């Protein structure tokens, strides 16, 4: 017997069945197969496999239809509308029960396993998950190779025929030959390892969970629900970037009071460290001094930025980062004075906690550190797990079950102390910010930090035209865009940012983070006319549209806050002219303030000049945007 579940609009059809004792599913949209019949199931240590011998016991159909308001997000109101089916199966030989919950939305599918409370399953071990995805092998795909290393997500997306992909992290994005677009990812990654994908045939993958140090995948107790395995699906690439599927598959907000969560831009002692102008470590070139941090606070106030970060503020920062104390400042950093000054200017302070993989120490002192931060009035913490990850006394992957549990503890302890979290080198986003909106953003991306390391081989411009349809489908990223002096090289590194300055302006709204860093230094900003665009920049939106987009080619996004739209357009390494109809504007005349590459600008030779001009437009206007290679345009549209 098979069960059909359709999306509310009827276009998407999922069929689930128990075939020869194994749960299987297939997905079609507009009558075209997107996932051919694919097997499901899990293995638990000491039990017969749940990939066979199953009998379907009962079914339950439900409809979900609610609208909710995110604490922050890309749209002010989100509709969660899906048809659901719960399939209850049993393996009669062992008596073990396995349930599958399937939800079908207009913009995709989510399914998860449930192990209901049952005798014999008090404490148990998942040794493998066998969720298969028989995807169209002829599709074009974008993904990162699977890896368990700390920087596996901080790589460049590969474009490849899906049939050639051997392993992948999620999100894995593909475009089919008949023009449908799909992202494989997961939602609500709680108390379980990260899922990667391994090919078992051309275009067919099976889930490969990141192992604990002893090879087991997950140690669980009692009733358990796995993360959702998700397929975000649309006709346009923009549908993937606009989708709320991942958030809809997470639980509602768990916090009674969210008034202390304050989205906004932030600035700070960071890019000057990355460019080796100053140092994290104590010494004559130490960056995070009291005086320097105050300059950033003044600049934050000037820009309407909400927060200031000062990396290298605490004892033993930099170097080996060992023996750090996240409460004791360096000698030339007067924490009380910095906090007093910031408070007087209405600016929050982001404390940097770079664990450098000494996670046991961090985990043990979390409660103490965060309680003290709360007393001091610190508003946010930027965590870091660069290089190793030692937890439970052993080296482990950044993405295994215990690591996932650690990141969650950080978010929970932070919430109790009214602290927002920006997590670097942690886990890919899976929509948990719906439930825990103090989790502002994560890294999991080759951001600006990677952009300038490898000279001409830093992040090629094309990468930014791939990210909205891959990495950002999972959630916000702390990419830290907005470097306007892209050639600034005070230490003679011989490397630079591989875009024009105008493209950097565009990225500040095209990439979503409720805590968006404006990464350049106050001096560089004050010297650049593009800075005007970033003053008072919102970071959370009433409405978002992705307009003309080609994955890996060009992106045009438009986000609205109140009556003002911010349009960002970027291109890859090819110059192109994009025609952008402004039909999304409300009625009446608008003023368009256009910041774009000045004539003669080029990403290779003269990337800094930005031409600023205004134009009167309305909803019937079409803008012709000529973008230079590696360039972009940023446009603020205000009712006039």
Q: Which residues bind ligand NOJ (CB under 6 A)?
A: 270, 311, 354, 384, 386, 424, 443, 449
Residue 376 interface partner, choices ligand NOJ, Ca ion, none, CB cut-off 5-8 Å depending on type = none
**Closer Cβ to Ca ion, 241 or 423, answer by number:** 423
Alpha helices in 304-428 (DSSP H): 335-344, 359-376, 401-416
Q: How far is the CB of 305 from ligand NOJ (least distance, A)?
A: 17
Q: How far is the CB of 450 from ligand NOJ (least distance, A)?
A: 9
- Asked whether 472 and 172 are in contact (CB, 8 A), the reply is no
Q: Which stretch binds Ca ion (CB under 5 A): 165-173, 176-184, 199-207, 422-430?
A: 422-430
Q: Which stretch binds Ca ion (CB under 5 A): 7-15, 243-251, 400-408, 420-428?
A: 420-428
Q: How far is the CB of 173 from ligand NOJ (least distance, A)?
A: 23
**Closer Cβ to ligand NOJ, 51 or 383, answer by number:** 383
Q: How far is the CB of 533 from Ca ion (least distance, A)?
A: 26
Q: Is 24 left (phi over 0), alpha (psi -120 to 50) or beta?
A: beta
The span from the CA of 95 to the CA of 444, in Å, is: 41
Residue 452 interface partner, choices Ca ion, ligand NOJ, none, CB cut-off 5-8 Å depending on type = none
Q: How far is the CB of 383 from ligand NOJ (least distance, A)?
A: 9
Alpha helices in 65-197 (DSSP H): none
Q: Is 318 left (phi over 0), alpha (psi -120 to 50) or beta?
A: left
Q: List, in order, residues 6 or more apart from 586 with CB less than 8 Å away.
A: 563, 619, 639
DSSP state of 586: -
**Closer Cβ to ligand NOJ, 113 or 270, answer by number:** 270
- Asked whether 505 and 610 are in contact (CB, 8 A), the reply is yes
Q: How far is the CB of 311 from ligand NOJ (least distance, A)?
A: 5
Q: Which two tokens stand for residue 356?
A: 């450098």
**Closer Cβ to Ca ion, 424 or 559, answer by number:** 424
Q: How far is the CB of 154 from ligand NOJ (least distance, A)?
A: 8
Residue 75 interface partner, choices ligand NOJ, Ca ion, none, CB cut-off 5-8 Å depending on type = none
Q: How far is the CB of 441 from Ca ion (least distance, A)?
A: 13
First to last CA, the chain: 61
The span from the CA of 470 to the CA of 428, in Å, is: 11
315 forms beta bridges with 325
Residue 354 interface partner, choices ligand NOJ, Ca ion, none, CB cut-off 5-8 Å depending on type = ligand NOJ
Number of residues interacting with Ca ion: please give it, by CB under 5 A.
1
Residue 242 interface partner, choices ligand NOJ, Ca ion, none, CB cut-off 5-8 Å depending on type = none
The span from the CA of 72 to the CA of 258, in Å, is: 10
Residues between 424 and 463 with contacts to Ca ion, criterion CB under 5 A? 424
Q: List, in order, residues 6 or more apart from 560 with CB less than 8 Å away.
A: 541, 542, 543, 544, 566, 584
Taking CB atoms, the residue at the shortest distance from Ca ion is: 424
**Closer Cβ to ligand NOJ, 336 or 493, answer by number:** 493
**Closer Cβ to ligand NOJ, 260 or 453, answer by number:** 453
Q: How far is the CB of 485 from ligand NOJ (least distance, A)?
A: 18
**Closer Cβ to ligand NOJ, 276 or 340, answer by number:** 276
The span from the CA of 412 to the CA of 359, in Å, is: 16
Q: How far is the CB of 270 from ligand NOJ (least distance, A)?
A: 6
- Asked whether 346 and 307 are in contact (CB, 8 A), the reply is no
Residue 186 interface partner, choices ligand NOJ, Ca ion, none, CB cut-off 5-8 Å depending on type = none
Residue 384 interface partner, choices Ca ion, ligand NOJ, none, CB cut-off 5-8 Å depending on type = ligand NOJ
Taking CB atoms, the residue at the shortest distance from ligand NOJ is: 354
Q: How far is the CB of 438 from ligand NOJ (least distance, A)?
A: 19
- Asked whether 29 and 12 are in contact (CB, 8 A), the reply is yes
**Closer Cβ to Ca ion, 138 or 387, answer by number:** 387
Pairing of strands 307-310, 348-354: parallel
**Closer Cβ to Ca ion, 402 or 443, answer by number:** 443
Q: How far is the CB of 386 from Ca ion (least distance, A)?
A: 6
Task: State CA 156 to chain mean position distance.
Answer: 15
Q: How far is the CB of 478 from ligand NOJ (least distance, A)?
A: 8
- Asked whether 596 and 630 are in contact (CB, 8 A), the reply is no
**Closer Cβ to ligand NOJ, 424 or 590, answer by number:** 424
Q: Which stretch binds Ca ion (CB under 5 A): 8-16, 419-427, 491-499, 565-573?
A: 419-427
**Closer Cβ to ligand NOJ, 181 or 496, answer by number:** 496
Element (H, E) at 522: helix 522-526
Q: Which two tokens stand for residue 162?
A: 């899906």
Q: Which stretch binds Ca ion (CB under 5 A): 265-273, 395-403, 421-429, 579-587?
A: 421-429
**Closer Cβ to ligand NOJ, 380 or 580, answer by number:** 380
Q: Which two tokens stand for residue 159?
A: 């474009």
- Asked whether 186 and 232 are in contact (CB, 8 A), the reply is no
Report the b/e string of 382-419 with b at 16+ CB within 10 A. bbbbbebbebeeeebbbbbbbbbebbbebbebbbebbb
Smallest CA-to-CA distance from 99 within 112, 108, 109 is with 112
Interhelix angle 359-376/335-344, rounded to 10 degrees, is 50
**Closer Cβ to Ca ion, 406 or 424, answer by number:** 424
Residue 99 interface partner, choices ligand NOJ, Ca ion, none, CB cut-off 5-8 Å depending on type = none
Residue 311 interface partner, choices ligand NOJ, Ca ion, none, CB cut-off 5-8 Å depending on type = ligand NOJ
Smallest CA-to-CA distance from 348 within 377, 312, 314 is with 377
Q: Which stretch binds Ca ion (CB under 5 A): 106-114, 270-278, 361-369, 417-425?
A: 417-425
Q: How far is the CB of 483 from Ca ion (least distance, A)?
A: 16
Position of tokens 């017969």?
48
**Closer Cβ to ligand NOJ, 22 or 424, answer by number:** 424
Q: Which stretch binds Ca ion (CB under 5 A): 100-108, 350-358, 416-424, 587-595?
A: 416-424
Residue 349 interface partner, choices Ca ion, ligand NOJ, none, CB cut-off 5-8 Å depending on type = none
- Residues 328, 329, 334, 335, Cα dihedral to 10°: -70
The span from the CA of 347 to the CA of 16, in Å, is: 53
The span from the CA of 422 to the CA of 261, in Å, is: 12
Pairing of strands 264-269, 307-310: parallel
Q: Which residues bind Ca ion (CB under 5 A)?
A: 424
């Amino acid at each position: 017997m098979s069960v059909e579940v359709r999306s509310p609009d009827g276009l998407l059809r999922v069929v689930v069945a128990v075939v020869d004792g194994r749960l299987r599913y297939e997905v079609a949209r507009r009558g075209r197969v997107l996932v051919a019949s694919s097997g499901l199931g899990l293995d638990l240590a000491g039990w017969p496999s749940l990939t066979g011998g199953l009998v379907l016991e009962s079914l339950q159909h439900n409809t979900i239809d609610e609208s909710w308001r995110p604490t922050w997000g890309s749209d002010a109101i989100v509709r969660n509308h899906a048809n659901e089916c719960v399939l209850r199966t049993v393996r009669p030989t062992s008596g073990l029960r396995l349930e599958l919950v399937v939800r079908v939305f207009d913009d995709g599918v989510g399914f998860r396993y449930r192990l209901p409370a049952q005798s014999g399953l008090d404490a148990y071990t998942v040794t493998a998950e066998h969720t298969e995805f028989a995807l169209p092998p002829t599709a074009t795909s974008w993904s990162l190779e699977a890896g368990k290393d700390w920087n596996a997500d901080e790589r460049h997306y590969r474009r490849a025929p899906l049939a050639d992909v051997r392993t992948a992290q999620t999100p894995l994005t593909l475009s089919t030959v008949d023009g449908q677009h799909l992202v494989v990812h997961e939602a609500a990654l709680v108390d379980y390892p990260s899922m990667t994908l391994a090919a078992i045939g051309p275009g067919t993958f099976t889930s490969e969970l990141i192992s604990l140090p002893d090879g087991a995948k997950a140690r669980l107790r009692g009733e358990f629900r796995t993360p959702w395995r998700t397929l975000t699906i649309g006709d346009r690439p923009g549908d993937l970037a606009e989708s709320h599927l991942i958030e809809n598959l997470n639980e509602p907000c768990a916090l009674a009071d969210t008034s202390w969560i304050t989205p906004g831009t932030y600035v700070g002692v960071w890019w000057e460290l990355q460019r080796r102008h100053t140092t994290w470590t104590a010494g004559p070139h130490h960056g995070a001094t009291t005086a320097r941090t105050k300059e950033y606070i003044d600049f934050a106030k000037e820009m309407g930025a909400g927060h200031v970060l000062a990396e290298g503020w605490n004892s033993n920062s930099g170097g080996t980062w060992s023996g750090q104390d996240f409460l004791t400042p360096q000698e030339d950093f007067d924490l009380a004075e910095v906090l007093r000054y910031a408070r007087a200017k209405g600016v929050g302070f982001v404390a940097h906690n770079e664990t450098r993989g000494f996670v046991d120490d961090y985990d043990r002192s979390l409660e103490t550190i965060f309680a003290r931060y709360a007393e001091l009035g610190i508003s946010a913490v930027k965590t870091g797990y660069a290089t190793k990850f030692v937890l439970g006394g052993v080296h482990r992957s950044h993405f295994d079950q215990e690591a996932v549990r650690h990141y969650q503890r950080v978010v929970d302890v932070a919430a109790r102390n009214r602290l927002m979290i920006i997590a670097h080198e942690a886990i890919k986003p899976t929509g948990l910010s719906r439930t825990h909106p103090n989790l502002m953003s994560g890294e999991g991306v080759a951001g600006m930090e990677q952009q300038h390391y490898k000279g001409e081989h830093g992040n090629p411009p094309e990468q930014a035209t791939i990210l909205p349809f891959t990495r950002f489908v999972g959630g916000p990223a702390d990419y830290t865009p907005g470097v306007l002096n892209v050639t600034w090289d005070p230490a003679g590194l011989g490397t630079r940012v591989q875009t024009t300055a105008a493209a950097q302006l565009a990225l500040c709204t095209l990439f979503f983070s409720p805590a968006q860093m404006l990464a350049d230094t106050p001096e560089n900003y004050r010297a650049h006319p593009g800075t005007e665009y970033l003053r008072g920049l919102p970071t959370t939106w009433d409405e978002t549209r992705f307009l003309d987009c080609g994955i890996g080619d060009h992106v045009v996004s438009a986000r609205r806050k109140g009556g003002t739209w911010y349009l960002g357009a970027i291109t890859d390494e090819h110059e192109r002219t994009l025609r952008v109809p402004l039909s999304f504007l409300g009625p009446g005349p608008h003023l368009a303030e256009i910041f774009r590459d000045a004539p003669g600008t080029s990403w290779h030779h003269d990337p800094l000049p930005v031409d600023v001009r205004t134009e009167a437009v309305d909803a019937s206007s079409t803008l012709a945007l000529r973008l230079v290679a590696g360039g972009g345009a940023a446009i603020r549209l205000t009712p006039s």
